[in-house]
Amino acid sequence: MLGIGDLADGVARSVETLGAQVSEAFFEPVIRLGVTGLSRAGKTVFITSLVANLLDRGRMPQLRAAQDGTIRSVFLQPQPDVTVPRFDYETHLAAMTGPAPHWPDSTRAVSELRLSFKVQSAGLMGSLRGVRTVHLDIVDYPGEWLLDLGLMEQTYEDWAAEVLGRISSRPEAAEFLARAGGVDPSGAMDEQMAKGLAESFAGYLQAARKAGWSDCTPGRFLLPGEMAGSPALTFAPLMKPAGSPARASLWREMDRRFEAYKSRVVKPFFRDHFARIDRQVVLVDALGAIHAGPRAVEDLRRAMADILSAFRPGTGSWLLSLLGAKRVERILFAATKADHLHHSQHPQLTAIVSALLREAKDRADFAGARTEAMSIASLRATVEEEIEHHGRTLPAVRGRLASGRQAAFWPGELPGDPAQLLVPARQGAEHWLDADYGAMAFLPAAIHLKPGEGPPHIRLDRAAEFLIGDRLS
Ligand code: GDP
């Protein structure tokens, strides 16, 4: 059922397409900001810190509307979508900035939060227009769910053959492959067998994700949310037996469940959440992939290309018909956790993210969306420090480890030319030729926030300016 708020939003949005001026005079505009990225990319930390830094804007000089006083106040509001879980901002912020700072629990499913801005610009126009309210609905959802878009155009037979081919040499898949090899797909459907196969396949996906693989679909197998254990999530890839499998066979039932997954899981997500997004940030843990090695980088590149295909649906695709004329207007690609690097290496990181996305970007310009790449740290956990090593001065960072000990860290020198990483990755190299990139898990630093200050970050204000700045002026 639609509430009054939903109706008002819907009307506001359609009027906005006719003319923003008209809608602003009568309605309170709503910006829907999607936040996505693969698991552990940094979505939860990003949203928590962004919200805290929008509520207390002392560390947001690059957000123009905050700097020049256009934003009069910001407050959290009950969100309009009553069926979507609320993003647990308070708990996450308490984890990050409390007396024993630690990282919050990660994104498991879609969630939402509404921030409302009271804005009034300076000058005559400002006083004529008075104080306006702009709502920002932040929608957090796993990037793995976007990867599922690829399944929509595939049959079970094609999907299963492709997955089985792709994972055949991965050690993480050995247990599942042995189990799948031991069943007769043309035999009678058996629920226990289906369950065992699905669990084993889900186990493989979890292990693959931990090992640094990004192509871990179906997305709900990794992050099932409220659908855990349902038949639409109880299937696995099996080779099609010769001939035409009987109706009651294991293979036919798997085929039926795959189709149910598409229509009951993937489609509703795109319809109810994705199709309503105006601005999007895609978070990328590029440093993590670089640390894991060339194959993880290549895999990340492919996964990002797949994720981005959702933002430029092909002609005739079902997504295009679902979206109609609606498009995401701005997309920010942000390399997260940049506080693992001294600032002198941030341009290299940004260049790597741009290059990772270039191919996907070049194929189509996201149907007119403005795009930008950036390196950010949502919560800065380190300070910069120069360290001496074998007679060289290295630009490093220092932070707190899980043991409580402080440690300085230099991850290695990122190349100025991203091709030095992306080319070997594409060629299937096993290791980086002449470099090793370290990783270190720092805990959030203990912080004492002054009144009016949000948590420390790197470039979160620039990210906010790109994503929503124009709508706050
Ligand atoms: P999600 O799965 O995308 O929601 O990822 P999270 O936001 O939970 O982040 C995953 C992990 O990445 C966190 O537990 C932190 O260890 C790390 N992380 C995220 N953001 C930052 C950051 O800004 N700085 C640092 N140093 N680590 C971060």
- Identify the pLDDT of residue 20: 41
Residues whose CB is less than 8 angstroms from the CB of residue 117 and which lie 6 or more positions away in sequence, other chains included: 54, 65, 71, 73, 74, 133, 134, 135, 136, 472
Query: 216, exposed or middle or buried, with CB in 10 Å at 0-12, 13-18, 19+?
Result: buried
DSSP helix, strand, coil percent of the chain (3-state; round to 5): 50, 15, 35
Same domain, 135 and 281: yes
Within a domain: residue 240? yes
Same domain, 119 and 213: no
Mutate to test the pocket of ligand 1, among 35, 51, 337 (most ligand atoms within 8 A of CB): 337
Within a domain: residue 431? no
Within a domain: residue 113? yes
Mutate to test the pocket of ligand 1, among 35, 39, 45 (most ligand atoms within 8 A of CB): 45
Ligand 1: residue whose CA is nearest its atom 10:
40
Distance 176 CA to ligand 1 centre (A): 30
- Identify the pLDDT of residue 362: 67
- Identify the pLDDT of residue 398: 94
Closest of 454, 473, 467, 461 to residue 61, by C-alpha: 461
Ligand 1: residue whose CA is nearest its atom 28:
337
Ligand 1: residue whose CA is nearest its atom 8:
106
- Beta carbons within 10 angstroms of residue 451's beta carbon: 6
Distance 429 CA to ligand 1 centre (A): 28
How many domains, the chain?
Answer: 2
- What SS3 state is found at 20? helix
pLDDT tens per residue across span 240-277: 999 888 989 999 999 999 999 999 999 999 999 999 99
Ligand 1: residue whose CA is nearest its atom 2:
40
Last-in-domain residue among 239, 262, 285: 262
- Identify the pLDDT of residue 363: 59
Spatial separation of the C-alpha atoms in residues 118 and 296, rounded to whole Å: 44
Give the CA diameter of the chain.
77
Ligand 1: residue whose CA is nearest its atom 22:
337
Q: How far apart are the first and last CA of the chain?
A: 34
Ligand 1: residue whose CA is nearest its atom 12:
42
- As for ligand 1, residues whose beta carbon falls within 6 Å of it are 37, 39-45, 103, 106-107, 336-337, 339-340, 377-379, 381, 441-442
Distance 38 CA to ligand 1 centre (A): 11
Same domain, 31 and 121: yes
- What SS3 state is found at 388? strand
Closest of 121, 123, 144, 145 to residue 131, by C-alpha: 121
Taking only the tens of pLDDT, the chain with its 473 residues reads 334 444 444 444 444 444 444 444 457 999 999 999 988 999 999 999 999 999 999 999 999 999 999 999 999 999 888 889 999 999 999 999 999 999 999 888 899 999 999 999 888 888 888 999 999 999 999 998 888 988 988 999 999 999 999 999 999 999 999 999 999 999 999 999 999 999 999 999 999 988 878 788 898 998 887 788 888 899 999 999 998 889 899 999 999 999 999 999 999 999 999 999 999 999 999 999 999 899 889 988 988 888 888 887 777 788 888 888 788 899 999 999 999 999 999 999 999 999 988 866 665 556 678 889 999 999 999 999 999 888 989 999 999 998 889 999 988 899 999 999 999 999 999 898 877 788 888 999 998 889 999 999 999 999 999 999 999 98
Same domain, 305 and 374: yes
Contact of 334 with 281, CB cutoff 8 Å? yes
Distance 325 CA to ligand 1 centre (A): 35
Joined tokens for residue 166: 């792709």
Within a domain: residue 6? no
Residues whose CB is less than 8 angstroms from the CB of residue 291 and which lie 6 or more positions away in sequence, other chains included: 411, 437, 438, 439
Mutate to test the pocket of ligand 1, among 43, 103, 214, 459 (most ligand atoms within 8 A of CB): 103
Last-in-domain residue among 218, 236, 262: 262
Within a domain: residue 134? yes
- What SS3 state is found at 56? coil
Distance 3 CA to ligand 1 centre (A): 35
Within a domain: residue 8? no
Ligand 1: residue whose CA is nearest its atom 17:
42
- Beta carbons within 10 angstroms of residue 213's beta carbon: 22
E strands, 169-295, are 279-284
Distance 99 CA to ligand 1 centre (A): 19
The verdict on pTM exceeding 0.85 is yes
Same domain, 298 and 255: no
Residue with tokens 């993003």: 87
Within a domain: residue 133? yes
Same domain, 463 and 329: yes
Same domain, 33 and 116: yes
Distance 341 CA to ligand 1 centre (A): 15
Same domain, 124 and 180: no
Closest ligand 1 atom number to CA of residue 105: 8
Same domain, 248 and 286: no
**CATH number for the domain including 355?**
3.40.50.300
- Identify the pLDDT of residue 120: 93
- Identify the pLDDT of residue 115: 97
Q: Which domain holds residue 246?
A: 147-262
Closest ligand 1 atom number to CA of residue 382: 26
Contact of 259 with 306, CB cutoff 8 Å? no
DSSP string, 347-369: HHHHHHHHHHHHHHHHH--GGG-
- Identify the pLDDT of residue 360: 66
Same domain, 233 and 319: no
Mutate to test the pocket of ligand 1, among 40, 53, 376 (most ligand atoms within 8 A of CB): 40
Within a domain: residue 243? yes
Closest ligand 1 atom number to CA of residue 442: 26
CA atoms within 13 A on the CB side of 32: 23
Last-in-domain residue among 233, 262, 291: 262
Distance 40 CA to ligand 1 centre (A): 6
Closest of 205, 206, 177, 194 to residue 235, by C-alpha: 194
Joined tokens for residue 441: 């898990």
Same domain, 257 and 301: no
Spatial separation of the C-alpha atoms in residues 338 and 350, rounded to whole Å: 10
Same domain, 243 and 292: no
